[in-house]
Amino acid sequence: MNGVGGIIVEVEAYHHTDPAAHSFRGPTPRNMVMFGPPGFVYVYRSYGIHWCVNFVCEKEGSASAVLIRALQPTHGIPAMRRRRRLHDERSLCSGPGKLTEALGITDKHNGLALDTLPIALHARIGKVEVATGVRIGITKAVELPWRYGLKGSKFLSKPF
DNA sequence: TAGGCGATGGTCT
DNA sequence: GACCATCGCCTAC
């Protein structure tokens, strides 16, 4: 992402059969991207203040997506610090609204493909241990254990 | 360290 | 007009 970025350490899954998902009630102008093919970026405004970013998954029409919740910063840390007005590296990207601010993601990135500049997504090298848990900040389907994170990471939005 | 709460505006009913 | 896939600050312990 324009020279800034990191390792994804925390995500949450959403699906059109899931009452907590934006796609649950069918397509609207806002969630349209979720109903398209996988490999695209869905950005929405959260609480009127923050941007949150999802990657559309599975097959076209399943309207499923993965919310990116936390990053371990690796590239462009000074630029991210400037955007976040922060000195603390740990809280730079430790939340969905924080990471979009640090990376400079806004609604203008909505609908972009994951392999189209300024966005690049790479496969992880090597094996990792994944922790699972219930999702954060939702009021529906709260019991589904669809939160996934890098076990023991110091850059999570919350411990598992 | 944990919990309460205000800010703030798009989206949907 | 109500609802939020949040954040950061402020208390209280």
Look at the pTM and tell me if it is higher than 0.85: yes
For residue A48, give the nucleotide whose C1' atom is nearest its CA: B9
Using the predicted structure, report yes or no on whether residue A148 has a pLDDT greater than 90: yes
Q: Which nucleotides of B are covered by protein (CB under 7 A)?
A: 7-13
Find the Å distance, CA of residue A98 to C1' of nucleotide C10: 20
DSSP A67-111: EEEEEEEEE-HHHHHHHHT---STTSSSSHHHHHHHHT--GGGTT
- Average pLDDT of span A11-37: 96
Convert the pLDDT of each residue in A82-131 to its tens digit.
Answer: 999 887 899 999 999 999 999 999 999 999 999 998 888 998 888 889 99
> Which is higher by pLDDT, A11 or A60?
A11
Amino acid A105: pLDDT: 96
Angle between helices A77-84 and A96-103 (to 10 degrees): 110
Amino acid A1: pLDDT: 86
Quote the mean pLDDT of chain A: 94
Q: CB of residue A108 closer than 7 A to nucleic acid strand B?
A: no
Q: CB of residue A26 closer than 7 A to nucleic acid strand B?
A: no
pLDDT band at A151 (very low <50, low <70, confident <90, very high): very high
Amino acid A19: pLDDT: 94
Q: CB of residue A25 closer than 7 A to nucleic acid strand B?
A: yes
Find the Å distance, CA of residue A73 to C1' of nucleotide B5: 30
Using the predicted structure, report yes or no on whether residue A16 has a pLDDT greater than 80: yes
Query: Do the Cβ atoms of A87 and A73 come closer than 8 Å?
Result: no
